Amino acid sequence: MARKKIALIGAGNIGGTLAHLAAQKELGDIVLFDVVDGVPQGKALDLSQCGPVEGFDAKITGTNDYADLAGADVVIVTAGVPRKPGMSRDDLLGINLKVMKAVGEGIKNNCPDAFVICITNPLDAMVWALREFSGLPANKVVGMAGVLDSARFTTFLAWEFGVSVRDVNTFVLGGHGDTMVPVVQYSTVNGIPVPDLIKMGLTTQEKIDAIVARTRSGGGEIVGLLKTGSAFYAPAASAIAMAEAYLNDQKRILPSAAYVNGEYGVNDLYVGVPVMIGAGGVEKVIEIELDEEARNNLNVSVEAVKELLVACKGIDPSL
Ligand code: TXD
């Protein structure tokens, strides 16, 4: 069986890390695309030379020509500009919306059957715009944020309880911003819900509240430390988990910025919800019971995403 083809649009910090992870996992042949001449080609050549050392076979190429994306099975989009200290994700909207228009055209014209994972910020608006511009079916265009936000929440909880990250399962809903909703009652350590762990005296409500707050500002914390850009190792690992679920039909339940039409009382919007990802792309939106606080927080997040879409339509009347 011919190898799958993975196209990475944006060959920057996340794009290069995506390429390395996909190659190490031998998910398929990899094409790195960027508008900067030389960067995708240089990174592709460098990554190819990892093959003999790490023991992977993958044809890794770099290009500045969208035609080289032809036939891609998976496309992961990081094209655009990242945050600098003092910038919010929403500040990127004007620049990155124009980038999504070009990227959407490139996908529509060269690989319309691909499963597209958007990473570019402000994520909830960019994934919606990318679907509009590309014209792909909504179940084949998804945003990566929830897997990263859940990974941050999981890491902080594992540190709090002094347990393996493998035994912590967390749930994050809503937008990829300050309004994201880490859902404590569905977050567990080896199946024990966090609220029960509080009752058992293994932590306190105050500590959990602080962890929720740190998760919400997890991106900003790294931007503040790096000063030159934003997180890229965990974002890349998170998107690769989603790509693998599609390529290997894993039916994984992953929090993702997915198209919702009716579930959670939300219509015609991309928002962070648990979905099943398999060979059909986003195969199902999982609707869970939310307590009043979580539902209110989700509604706040939905309103914040809607405001971003109004801004997008103000910039590009074709939307
Ligand atoms: O969880 C999440 N979704 C977020 C997303 C987590 C971390 C970072 N988040 C966002 O991903 C971040 O705010 C940015 O919007 C993207 C990409 O972050 P990255 O750190 O990879 O940015 P880089 O290193 O600047 O790479 C961006 C590349 C760079 O090489 C540019 O030349 C290229 O994008 N670029 C383009 N490629 C193709 N087409 C166009 N028009 C274009 N414009 C810039």
Residue nearest to atom 18 of ligand 1 (CA): 82
| pTM, 2 dp | 0.97
Looking at ligand 1, which atom is closest to the CA of residue 231? 7
Is the pLDDT at 196 greater than 80, yes or no?
yes
Residue 82 beta carbon below 6 angstroms from any ligand 1 atom: yes
Which range has the worst mean pLDDT, 109-113, 203-207, 311-315?
A: 311-315
Q: From the CA of 119, how far away is ligand 1's center (Å)?
A: 8
- Structural domains in the chain, sorted by start: 5-144 (3.40.50.720), 146-313 (3.90.110.10)
Q: What is the pLDDT of residue 82?
A: 83
Q: From the CA of 130, how far away is ligand 1's center (Å)?
A: 14
Q: What is the pLDDT of residue 176?
A: 78
Q: 287 falls in which pLDDT band (50, 70, 90)?
A: very high
Looking at ligand 1, which atom is closest to the CA of residue 102? 41
Q: What is the pLDDT of residue 142?
A: 98
Q: 309 falls in which pLDDT band (50, 70, 90)?
A: very high
> Could you report the predicted ipTM of this complex, rounded to two decimals?
0.99
Is the pLDDT at 291 greater than 90, yes or no?
no
**Is 176 among the residues known to form the active site?**
yes
User: How confident is the prediction for the chain on average, in pLDDT?
Assistant: 95
In which element (H, E) is residue 264 found?
A: none
Q: What is the pLDDT of residue 44?
A: 98
- Ligand 1, from 78, 84, 90, 144: best to mutate by most atoms within 8 Å of Cβ? 78
| DSSP characters over 127-188 | HHHHHHHH---GGGEEE--HHHHHHHHHHHHHHHHT--GGGEE--EES-SSTT-EE-GGG-E
Cβ atoms of residues 275 and 142 within 8 Å? yes
Rg, C-alpha atoms of the chain: 19
Q: From the CA of 186, how far away is ligand 1's center (Å)?
A: 32
Higher pLDDT, 175 or 26: 26
Is the pLDDT at 236 greater than 90, yes or no?
yes
- Residue 33, class by beta-carbon neighbours within 10 Å (0-12 exposed, 13-18 middle, 19+ buried)? buried
Q: What is the pLDDT of residues 49-95, one digit of tens each?
A: 999 999 999 999 999 999 999 999 999 999 998 887 887 877 889 89
Q: What is the dihedral of CA 243, 93, 101, 268, to 10 degrees?
A: 70
- Ligand 1, from 33, 75, 87, 121: best to mutate by most atoms within 8 Å of Cβ? 121
SS3 category, 95:
helix
| DSSP characters over 106-125 | HHHHH-TTSEEEE--SSHHH
Q: From the CA of 230, how far away is ligand 1's center (Å)?
A: 9
Q: What is the pLDDT of residue 97?
A: 96
Residue nearest to atom 13 of ligand 1 (CA): 82
Q: Closest Cα partner for 309 from 81, 118, 130?
A: 130
CA distances (Å), origin 123, targets 118, 142, 174, 256, 259: 7, 10, 11, 11, 13
